[in-house]
């Protein structure tokens, strides 16, 4: 036993050790989930072009054809896994189905990451076909679609080797920053990387000091607990930043 370590000190150190073990288990779990293919998509916008009150007074045409109920759909597709999807992995094209529309009038890749990632899209009835192409980890493509009729549902489908489903997100991941795309501004960095770590370290140090009575055990408990909570906070912050960055153009 450590010198002058009383029962309360032992309890405090044991608690810290348990926290460290939990962190290690969490990290190992995270590592075990790597090496997977994952393709996610998000319907960022699905809106009618004409407000209900003025639709009867305006006429929209496309290539000489009247569009009864024009709508715009914006979809982002991201390879959120850590393995590339090769062109040879595609057994079929990707299909973006717009259920409930009369027709798809136009489909364009408006933004992408990297800039030279420009999948070829083809309009096929009420589907948009995306031809096979290399999709590296972190690649993102944003499609803007003009439809006749507001889609009831948007579904991404297709057959890719070792990828059974396509995950649909209901919203963008939590943004640690207050920028328009969740990016961190100056005040956000101050809060997340300075103020919050100092606050958490102070709380952890205070709790550890209350759990111990001898000077030696207090020094150990305060140092380890403060360092642990700060490290976990910074690790979690970086995780949030990387996750949201995947969805930014």
Q: pLDDT tens across 149-192, in order?
A: 999 999 999 999 988 778 899 999 999 999 988 999 999 999 99
- pLDDT(2) > 50: no
pLDDT over 90 (residue 115): yes
- For residue 106, pLDDT over 80 is answered with yes
Q: Quickly tell me which residue has 């608690």 as its tokens.
A: 15
Checking if the pLDDT of 3 tops 60, the result is: no
Name the band, by pLDDT with cuts 50, 70 and 90, for residue 18: low
> CA-to-CA distance for 134 and 88, rounded, in angstroms?
9
Looking at residues 48-77, what average pLDDT do you find?
79
Rounded mean pLDDT, 207-226: 72
Indicate the average pLDDT of the chain.
83
Residue 93 Cα distances to 83, 122, 156, angstroms: 19, 10, 11
Mean pLDDT of 225-234: 83
pLDDT at 8 over 50: no
d(CA 173, CA 25): 24
Residue 100 in contact with residue 153, Cβ under 8 Å?
yes
Predicted local distance difference test score (pLDDT) of residue 73:
95
Q: Which pTM does this prediction carry?
A: 0.78
Res 1 pLDDT > 50: no
Angle at 51 between CA 49 and CA 54, to 5 degrees: 115
DSSP 182-215: S---HHHHHIIIIIHHHHHHHHHHHHHHHT--SH
Write down the pLDDT at residue 53.
62
**What percent of the chain has pLDDT above 90?**
50
Mind listing the domains of the chain with CATH numbers?
7-34+177-245 (no CATH), 39-162 (2.60.40)
Predicted local confidence at residue 4, as pLDDT: 47
The confidence score (pLDDT) of residue 136 equals 95
**pLDDT at residue number 65:** 76
Tell me what pLDDT residue 236 has. 85
- Burial status of residue 27 (CB atoms within 10 A of its CB: 0-12, 13-18, 19 or more): exposed
């Amino acid at each position: 036993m450590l010198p002058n370590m009383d029962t309360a000190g032992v309890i405090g150190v044991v608690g810290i050790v348990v926290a460290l073990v939990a962190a290690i288990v969490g990290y190992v779990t995270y590592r075990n989930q790597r090496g997977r293919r994952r393709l996610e998509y998000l319907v960022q916008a699905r809106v009618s072009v004409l407000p209900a009150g003025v639709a009867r007074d305006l006429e929209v045409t496309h290539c000489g054809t009247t569009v009864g109920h024009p709508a715009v759909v914006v979809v982002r597709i991201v390879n959120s896994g850590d393995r590339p999807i090769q062109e040879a992995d595609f057994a079929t094209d990707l299909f973006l189905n717009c259920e409930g529309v009369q027709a798809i009038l136009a489909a364009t890749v408006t933004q992408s990451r990297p800039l030279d990632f420009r999948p070829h899209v083809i309009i096929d009835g009420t589907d948009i076909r995306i031809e096979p192409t290399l999709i590296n980890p972190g690649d993102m493509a944003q499609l803007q679609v003009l439809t006749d009729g507001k889609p009831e549902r948007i579904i991404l489908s297709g057959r890719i080797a070792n990828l059974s489903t396509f995950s649909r997100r209901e919203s963008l991941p939590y943004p640690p920053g207050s920028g328009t795309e969740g990016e961190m501004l100056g005040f956000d960095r101050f809060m997340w990387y300075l103020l919050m770590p100092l606050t958490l370290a102070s709380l952890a140090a205070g709790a550890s000091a209350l759990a111990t009575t001898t000077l030696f055990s207090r020094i150990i408990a305060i140092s380890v607990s403060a360092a642990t909570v700060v490290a976990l906070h910074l690790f979690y912050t970086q995780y949030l930043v990387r996750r949201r960055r995947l969805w930014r153009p």
